[in-house]
């Protein structure tokens, strides 16, 4: 299996692309703060998940990278809250993106709790 076949990867990649599209309309003065930060954190979710999958022969690295991925997902949620509070996104868009992010978080957590299903050998 390729990391691109992981459901968590697919959903987190899709979410990062939605964030990218939505942030194109953010004000120019947010370019080096909110826009860059939310793009970076949302993209880090699938990136660190891919790293975790490649390091699955080392259980501690697998867990570490997945918890990093989960942390980036949580960071993305905070940036979405800022975007909503600044009125850069609507309540409906916020709810949609947060819902997708929560789903990604559950999938990452499933990977952490069931490492053997992803080829991680017991220590």
CATH of residue 69: 1.20.1440.60
Residue 77 lies in a domain: yes
d(CA 8, CA 104): 6
Q: Which domain holds residue 27?
A: 3-114
Residue 119 lies in a domain: no
- Whether the model clears a pTM of 0.85, i.e. scores above it, the answer is yes
d(CA 120, CA 4): 17
Let me know: does 13 contact 46? Beta carbons within 8 Å: yes
pLDDT tens per residue across all 123 residues of the chain: 899 999 999 999 999 999 999 999 999 999 999 999 999 999 999 999 999 999 999 999 999 999 999 999 999 999 999 999 999 999 999 999 999 999 999 999 999 999 999 999 876
Q: How many Å separate Cα 50 from the centre of its chain? A: 11
Residue 121 lies in a domain: no
Q: How many domains does the chain have?
A: 1
Residue 122 lies in a domain: no
Rounded to 5°, angle at Cα 3 from 1 and 78: 150
**How far does the chain reach from its first CA to its final CA, in angstroms?**
22
């Amino acid at each position: 299996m390729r990391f691109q076949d992981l459901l968590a990867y697919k959903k987190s990649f899709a979410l990062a692309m939605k964030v990218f599209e939505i942030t194109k309309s953010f004000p120019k003065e947010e370019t080096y703060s909110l826009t860059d930060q939310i793009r970076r954190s949302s993209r880090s979710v699938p990136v660190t998940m891919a790293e975790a999958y490649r390091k699955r022969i080392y259980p501690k690295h697998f867990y570490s990278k997945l918890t990093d991925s989960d942390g980036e997902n949580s960071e993305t949620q905070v940036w979405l809250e800022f975007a909503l509070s600044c009125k850069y996104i609507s309540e409906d868009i916020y709810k949609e993106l947060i819902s997708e992010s929560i789903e990604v978080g559950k999938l990452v957590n499933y990977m952490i709790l069931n490492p053997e299903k992803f080829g991680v050998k017991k220590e």
